[in-house]
Structure 1
Amino acid sequence: MQPLRKADPSSIAGHRLLGRLGAGGMGVVYLARTPGGTLAALKLIRAEHAADPGFRERFRRETRIAGRITGHWVVRVLGADPEAREPWLATEFVPGPSLAEAVGLHGALPEPTVRALGARLAAALADVHAAGLVHRDVKPGNVLLALDGPRLIDFGIARAAGATALTATDAMIGTPGFLAPEQARVGAADEVGPAADVFSLGCVLAYALTGERPFGTGAVAAVVYRTVHEEPDLREVPDTILPLVAACLAKDPAARPTAARVRAALGEAGGPAGDWLPPGLPALIARRS
């Protein structure tokens, strides 16, 4: 976390700002304390972007979608005002690292940890899909690790299954290296359904187990080409979980298991996750807490 800057407000709609969690071209994410005393991650959109009617409508949609997801392994919405001059959205704060940061610091995670991680992420996606939504950007950076289990975050490009996308039709939606083949086809937004999230989950599981992206790295075009036309590199994935990961990464969406089936295959996802993290990560989370 970084300290507040002179230009930052001290509070937003009764939320007292404590520091900066991150910033980008669209706005700033603050650590805040709600009027009720709860810690929150508050996303504030810059006024120049909010002045764009299309952008504001997308933010309204993100707010509505995030509020519809109530599963245990998804961050809860604590408040929002998409109509403010600078729109904002507050969600519960998770004081742990992202999966991307954890793997970067500690390397590949042990299989029992990844099974617990995958079962809970699959349960989160099952809730998302049951609500008629598709996340469309499941990746290590959008998975936060808490002591009791992971949390899926960032529904900024999620949408209702079968709905017309608000993004440009010539834009590829998702993160190369973790998006499904159907997401890579420009103008094929209507083909992106729950199975795309399962493909992304398979990429996340492979990454967590090996420390490497299953379709490699490099230029975006090369990574996308391998995703669409080549088989993933799963040589380091343990044999005990390899069939499930491979099934999630099937090129044909109809051949992939549902999120509910992935959860069932990985084990119990309900209740406290318990001692699921490898040594080192609980201490990191405790320091941040």
Structure 2
Amino acid sequence: MPGRSPYDIPDHVQSALTPLSKQLVVNRRGSTVWDVQTPGGRLAVKLGYPTPTHAWTALAPAREATILRQLIAQEVLFGDWQEGTWSAQPWREGEALFDLWEPGRHPTKPATPNLDQALSCAVALADLHAAGWTHGDVQPNHFVIGPAGSFLIDLGLARGGEVPEVYDFRYRGCLVHYEAPEISRSILETGTAVPTQEADVYALGASLFISATGWRHVPYPDDADRKDQRQAIVDRPHRKITVPGALGKLIEHMMSREPADRPTSAEVRQELKNVR
């Protein structure tokens, strides 16, 4: 029904994919995602639609699809539908970083984070950067860790290559819980920002930190609005890094307030290879 979600896969998309089964897996913030089994394999089918505050979410599935076509060999389909755009991409089997590290956040039985899994996340980000792209929305739920390693998903905000103008939109930040101070500052001052690989590294550090501890990188009330969250990130230092050992020291380095002081994703990858 127009204007309401979750949305079912439109008839013309189902005709193109001929699904054998489907399961709703995500329905939030302008995006409905289905896990779809087809004769050709398992797919993630995304439907984008505008929200009262964000029109760009309607374009994100098609924008991501044009990026994936430049990065992976597998077939990626996309097009328009009544409320926005849709895409169908290979399903990535695995579990999100935040969920994998949940047992280690137990208050009475904390566990040392798995360095192999941290390394797999760094490898995924470094590979993307080496290909000339910036992700722009690094967060723990976008690292899917499975038997084949980590996949860095949800590239709808990525920058680095050609994107058709009809599907493009300006970058207005990401999930604030992982936003670097310079990105938050730019959003507050101008309404937009330029995503950078340095900000991706900060976000990976914040992702490792929250996955290991359960704490956001900067404290602010749970009910604070986005503007106040960003102001807190600009005004306050990040929380004390309590992750033990070499990983904690590396996270501290990754979350340096000055972008030039942070290691590159390739350096993060190498450091984790050295200490795991």
TM range (shorter): 0.7 to 0.9
Find out whether 1:19 has 2:23 as its counterpart: yes
Q: Using a 3 Å threshold, how does the CA distance of structure 1 residues 150 and 130 change in structure 2: closer, same or farther?
A: closer
Work out whether residues 202 and 249 of structure 1, in 8 Å CA contact, stay in contact via their aligned partners in 2. Answer: yes
Work out whether residues 136 and 179 of structure 1, in 8 Å CA contact, stay in contact via their aligned partners in 2. Answer: no
Partner of 2:3: none
Partner of 1:33: 37
Q: How many angstroms does 1:81 deviate by?
A: 2.1
Q: Which amino acid aligns with 1:259?
A: S
Structure 1: how far apart are the matches of 2:208 and 2:8? 41
Q: Which amino acid aligns with 1:89?
A: S
Work out whether residues 206 and 234 of structure 1, in 8 Å CA contact, stay in contact via their aligned partners in 2. Answer: no
Structure 1: how far apart are the matches of 2:144 and 2:79? 25
Structure 1: how far apart are the matches of 2:259 and 2:45? 35
Partner of 1:120: 120
Q: Look up the SS of the partner of 1:87 in the other structure.
A: strand
Matches within 5 A, 1:34-183: 34-36=38-40, 38-46=41-49, 59-70=61-72, 78-83=75-80, 87-103=85-101, 107=105, 110-111=111-112, 113=114, 115-160=115-160, 166-167=168-169, 172-183=172-183
Q: Using a 3 Å threshold, how does the CA distance of structure 1 residues 88 and 129 change in structure 2: closer, same or farther?
A: same
Structure 2: how far apart are the matches of 1:57 and 1:143? 22
Partner of 1:263: 269
Calculate the aligned-residue CA RMSD, in Å.
3.6
Q: Using a 3 Å threshold, how does the CA distance of structure 1 residues 189 and 68 change in structure 2: closer, same or farther?
A: farther
Q: Which amino acid aligns with 1:90?
A: A
Partner of 1:211: 214
Work out whether residues 22 and 30 of structure 1, in 8 Å CA contact, stay in contact via their aligned partners in 2. Answer: yes
Work out whether residues 19 and 30 of structure 1, in 8 Å CA contact, stay in contact via their aligned partners in 2. Answer: yes
Q: Using a 3 Å threshold, how does the CA distance of structure 1 residues 95 and 101 change in structure 2: closer, same or farther?
A: same
Q: Look up the SS of the partner of 1:22 in the other structure.
A: strand
Q: How many angstroms does 1:235 deviate by?
A: 4.1
Structure 2: how far apart are the matches of 1:112 and 1:101? 12
Q: Look up the SS of the partner of 1:21 in the other structure.
A: strand
Work out whether residues 43 and 91 of structure 2, in 8 Å CA contact, stay in contact via their aligned partners in 1. Answer: yes
**Normalising by structure 2, what TM-score?**
0.75
Q: Using a 3 Å threshold, how does the CA distance of structure 1 residues 158 and 33 change in structure 2: closer, same or farther?
A: same
Structure 2: how far apart are the matches of 1:208 and 1:55? 26
Q: How many angstroms does 1:139 deviate by?
A: 0.8
Q: Which amino acid aligns with 1:193?
A: T
How many positions carry a matched residue from both structures? 253
Q: Look up the SS of the partner of 2:178 in the other structure.
A: coil
Structure 2: how far apart are the matches of 1:6 and 1:121? 31
Q: Which amino acid aligns with 2:123?
A: A
Structure 2: how far apart are the matches of 1:28 and 1:91? 14
Q: Which runs of 5+ in 1 are unaligned?
A: 71-75, 269-275, 277-289
Q: Which has the higher contact order (CA 8 A, sep 6+)?
A: 1
Structure 2: how far apart are the matches of 1:215 and 1:190? 20
Q: Using a 3 Å threshold, how does the CA distance of structure 1 residues 78 and 150 change in structure 2: closer, same or farther?
A: same
Q: How many angstroms does 1:13 deviate by?
A: 1.0
Q: Which amino acid aligns with 1:65?
A: I
Q: Which runs of 5+ in 2 are unaligned?
A: 1-5
Q: Which amino acid aligns with 1:144?
A: V
Q: How many angstroms does 1:68 deviate by?
A: 2.2
Structure 2: how far apart are the matches of 1:6 and 1:198? 34
Say which of 193, 200, 215 aligns to 2:196.
Answer: 193
Work out whether residues 25 and 34 of structure 2, in 8 Å CA contact, stay in contact via their aligned partners in 1. Answer: yes
Structure 2: how far apart are the matches of 1:195 and 1:173? 14
